[in-house]
Amino acid sequence: MTDQSIISALILGLIEGLTEFIPVSSTAHVLLAGHFLGFKSPGNTFAVLIQLGAILAILLVYFQRLLSIALALPSSAKARQFVLSILLAFLPAALIGAIAHGFIKSVLFETPMLICIVLIVGGVILYAIDRMPLKAKYHDVMDYPPSLALKIGLFQCLAMIPGTSRSGATIAGALLMGTDKRSAAEFSFFLAMPTMLGAFTLDLYKNRNALNFDDASLIAVGFIAAFVAALLVVRSLLNFVSNRGFAPFAIWRIVVGTAGLIGLWLLG
């Protein structure tokens, strides 16, 4: 282990945490950064395990909210509807992810140029949606009907293509179907919990024979960096999008995708 590898692990952990819950595609950022940093992790151990830092961050921030919903389930129809909505939204991606996991990881995730192009295209689409004069009918995630949640879940399936962004796909779908920006982002948070836990568990299972912990200190650095960065993002994102919308993220996607294409052209 070298000082350079520690710095690379720190950078990748920060990128994971900072981008996981905003509509810019954490996968694209981590894969492109790892590509240009020359960072390799046998068995994808590092990439798989640092995601847990971001997962723990959002569970910590929403612990009290989740506990209150769980306690209200026996007596509150609204709480039961909300849990049903999250499960329905999670189902499409869970099914497709389980069926196509090998193709997604071995083909799509190994194509940096595709990732850059999708970043740019997704940025243009997100910017256009953010600027549309859409009328919001839903302002509280607890009021989302199950049918709306299922449609948002279908949009989430687009995130199987690296560079699309799980949160970006769900937020864009929610906005097009009549939610306001703040609740769209918050629903994306709630949907991230089962989706990320499911993806983490599947990745861990699929890579169980290749996993090794020879670089445990690097994993620890990336894990802690991802946890701290994600904690900051989750605590501040809702207020940010309420005031600024999603256009800044759309522009960032276009800039990063363009820079990535230039980098691939110059450096390979």
Please check whether residue 202 is in contact with residue 97, taking contact to mean a CB–CB distance below 8 angstroms: yes
Tokens of 201: 């568990």
Q: How far is residue 258's CA from residue 28's CA, in Å, rounded to a whole number?
A: 13
What pLDDT does 126 receive?
A: 95
Range of lowest pLDDT (28-37, 119-128, 246-255): 28-37
Tens digits of residue pLDDT in 130-164: 999 999 999 999 999 999 999 999 999 998 887 88
Classify residue 76 as exposed, middle or buried by CB count within 10 Å of its CB (0-12, 13-18, 19+).
middle
pLDDT at residue 47 in the model = 72
- Residue range 41-51: mean pLDDT, rounded: 68
Please, which residues have CB within 8 angstroms of residue 252's CB and are 6 or more apart in sequence?
A: 24, 123
DSSP assignment of 72-118: HTTT-HHHHHHHHHHHHHHHHHHHHHHHHHHHHHHTGGG-HHHHHHH
> Per mean pLDDT, which range of 1-5, 60-64, 139-143 is the poorest?
1-5
Residue 207 has a pLDDT of 67
The SS3 of residue 179 is strand
Q: Residue ranges of the alpha helices (H) in 132-180?
A: 146-156, 166-176
Pair of tokens at residue 268: 């390979």
Residue 78: the pLDDT is 95
Structure tokens at 10: 């720190």
pLDDT tens readout for residues 117-127? 999 999 999 99
Q: Please state, in angstroms and rounded to a whole number, the distance separating the CA atoms of residues 10 and 148.
A: 39
Per-domain boundaries in the chain: 3-267
Asked if residue 107 has pLDDT above 60, the reply is: no
Q: What is the mean pLDDT of residues 185-200?
A: 91
Token pair 């997704």 in the structure block, residue: 122
Portion of the chain with pLDDT greater than 70, in percent: 89
